[in-house]
Amino acid sequence: MKQLKKSSVWLAPVIIILIGIGILFMENYAQVTEPPSDGWSRELQVGMTPNVSEPYLSADDSGNWSIAYITEDGVRQHTYDRQFEQISETSFDIPVNQYTQIFLGEDAFIYSDYYALYNGDNSEEITDIQKFYPLADTAYYRKDNVIYHLDPSTLGSEQILTVDSENTEVIIEQKNEETHILTNTIDQTGNHLTFYTVSGNEATEKGAAVFTLTGTEEVQDIQFALDDNSYALLVKTLQKQSMSGKVSNQYYYSEATLGDAPDLQRIQFQDPHGGMALQEISDVEMQWTEQGASILFKAFGSTNTRFREPLQFNIYTATLSSSGPLDVKRLSNTPSSSVEPNWINPNTVLWIDRGNSEEHRVLVSSSNSTIIAEAKQLTMPAFLQSLGKTMGMLSTGMFAVVISLLWFIWPLLFLCVVMFTNSRAMDQDRSWVFYIGALIYIGAAVILNDLMFSSRGMLNAPAYLNFTGSAFIYLLGFALLSYAILKAGLSIRKWSPSIQLTYFIGIHVICITIFFGPYLL
C-alpha cells in the first residue's frame, strides 16, 4: 500500500492521459460510426470487388438479389437473401478489358467488348455492336443508327428504333419494370430530345422537346424520368469560360408535360451536414417516386470520419424541384471515396468504397430496422479508423506544449529572480515560492489564453469543452486538480518549491494538452 502511495505521484498523470485518450477515442468512434442520416443504417459490408466499375444488379421473384462485377479473370456473382446473408458465389471465365460490360440473368449470360456481343456460355460472337445497354432483366444494343432489343433467352434481336444520325446520343433506362428511351440530337438550334416507351419489341414515341444553353456552356450529362404524361429532366453542364478562369459544373432541372419544352432552372444541392453546396456530382441514377422525381448520386460533401479532411465523396439522394430548396439526404458516411450507387430496393442502397488498388469494399445502407441494428456492431475498419484519427489528433495536439511555453516561462523567470535575489528562500524551502510561482503561471495562462483556446479550435471542440467561459473554467479547474494531486504526493514525498512548481505546471500542461490540444489545428 505504501508503495502504491509512492507511485501515485506518477500514476495520477498516467491515469489523466488514459482518460483523455479514452474520451477522445470514443468521440472519434462516434463520429466515424455516425449514421449517414436519421433512420438509415451505417454501412454494412456485403463483399469485396477488385473493380470499381458499376456492378450489375438483379433480383428474383423470391426477393433474393445478386451483384456481379468484373474481375481480372472474368465475372464474379454473389447472391444474397433479404438480410444480406450470402447464399452462393459463382465465377465466369471470360476475356476482360476496359470496355467489358455484362448481362447476367437467370437463364443467360451475355458480355460485350468494344466491337461485339458474346454468349457467355461459349464465348461465341452474337453480333457486332457500337454500344451495349444491359438492363435488369433484358438488354439492348446499338448498331450504326439502329437500336435493337436482344432477347436474353433466345439471343434473338429485333429492331425497335432508328435514330437520326451517328452523333445522336441514346439513353436507355429501366425503372419499375418499364423501359424508357431518350435520344438527344445536337445542332445549331439546340438539343433535340425525343422520349420513348418500350413494350416488347416496339418503341412508342411519347413526346419531343428542345432546349438551348448559353454559348459558354456545354451538356455533360442528361438524366430523365417519365411518369404518364410528364417528364423530368436533369442537365449537367460544363462552364467553359468564367470570370475566375476555373472550369465549373452547373445543374439545371425541369418538370414538364410531354410535348412541352423544358423550363430549365438552375439548382444547387445543399450539403445536409455542412454549410456549402455539394460538389462534383456524378454517378447519377434518376427515377420517379411518389414524392416526384428523385436522384441517387455521389458528391463531395461534409463528413467527420477523417482526420483533418472534412470532405469526402459520399452517396446522397435528392427529391428534385424547380422551385424551392431540394430535399437532400446523405445515405453513406465513410472515410473512403464512395462510387457507383445503385438502389437494391426503395429502402436499400448499394455502393462501392474505393480501397487499395486491388480490393474495394461493397457496402449497403438501409432504412430497414433489422439492418440498422446489425450495422451497429463494432467492425475492425471502424475501430482502426477511429484509432488512426485519435492518434493523428494527439500528435498535432502536442503543439499545445509549445504554446504553453508562453505560460511557464514567467514562473521560470520568477524562480531565477528568487534564486539570485533571495537564495535563502530557496534553500529553506519557503512555501510562498511555490504559491507565488503558481499564481504567476495561472495568471499568464488566463491572460495569454487566446492561442490555446482560439475561436477556430473551440469551434471544432465538443460541447462539453466549448461553452461560455469554458477556457477560464477549465484553466482553473485543471489548476485545482493539479494542486490536489501535488498535495497528495507531498504527504509521502519531500520536494523543494521549485520541484513542486515544476510538477504542478507539468500536470496542468498535460491536462490542457490531452483535452484541448487535439482541437488546436
- Specify the amino acid at residue 110: I
- Please give the pLDDT value at position 63: 79
CB 231 within 8 A of CB 264: no
- DSSP assignment, residue 149? E
Residue 244 reports pLDDT greater than 60: no
Task: Using the predicted structure, report yes or no on whether residue 458 has a pLDDT greater than 70.
Answer: yes
Is-contact 184 167, C-beta < 8 A? no
- 15's enclosing H/E stretch is helix 2-32
Residue matched to cell numbers 438552375: 266
CB atoms within 10 A of CB 232: 23
CA distance 418 to 431: 13
Cβ(167)–Cβ(185) under 8 Å? yes
The count of other CB atoms within 10 Å of the CB of residue 63 is 10
pLDDT tens for 362-374 read 999 999 998 999 8
Q: Specify the 3-state DSSP secondary structure of 422.
A: coil
- The crossing angle, in degrees rounded to 10, of helices 380-397 and 2-32 is 110
Q: What is the mean pLDDT of residues 341-367?
A: 91
Mean of pLDDT values over 8-18: 88
d(CA 284, CA 235): 11
Of 27-41, 102-116, 235-249, 415-429, give the range with the top mean pLDDT: 27-41
- Determine the Cα–Cα distance for residues 446 and 510; give it in Å rounded to an integer: 17
pLDDT at 3: 62
**Does residue 425 contact residue 373 with C-beta atoms inside 8 Å?**
no
pLDDT at 4 over 70: no
What are the residues whose beta carbons fall under 8 Å from the beta carbon of 156, sequence distance 6 or more? 150
- Would you call 71 exposed, middle or buried from its count of C-beta atoms within 10 A (0-12, 13-18, 19+)? middle
Percent of the chain with pLDDT over 90: 66
- Band (pLDDT 50/70/90 cuts) for residue 133 is very high
Taking the C-alpha atoms of residue 415 and residue 418, their distance in angstroms, rounded to an integer, is 5
Chain position carrying cell 433467352: 153
Distances (CA, A) of 46 to 55, 183, 313, 327: 13, 36, 20, 28
- Looking from the CA of 274 toward its CB, the CA atoms found within 13 Å total 18
Q: Taking Cα atoms as reference points, which of 177, 176, 180 lies closest to residue 346? A: 176
**Given a cut of 60, is residue 250 above it in pLDDT?**
yes
Instruction: In whole angstroms, give the CA distance from residue 115 to residue 493.
Output: 86
Contact yes or no for 231/225 (Cβ under 8 A): yes
**For the ranges 199-203, 296-300, 340-344, which has the lowest average pLDDT?**
199-203
Residue 268, classed as helix, strand or coil, is coil
Which helix (H) or strand (E) segment is 125 a member of? strand 125-128
Query: pLDDT: is 147 or 417 the higher one?
Result: 147
DSSP secondary-structure letter at 518?
G
**CA separation for the pair 331, 337 (Å, rounded):** 13
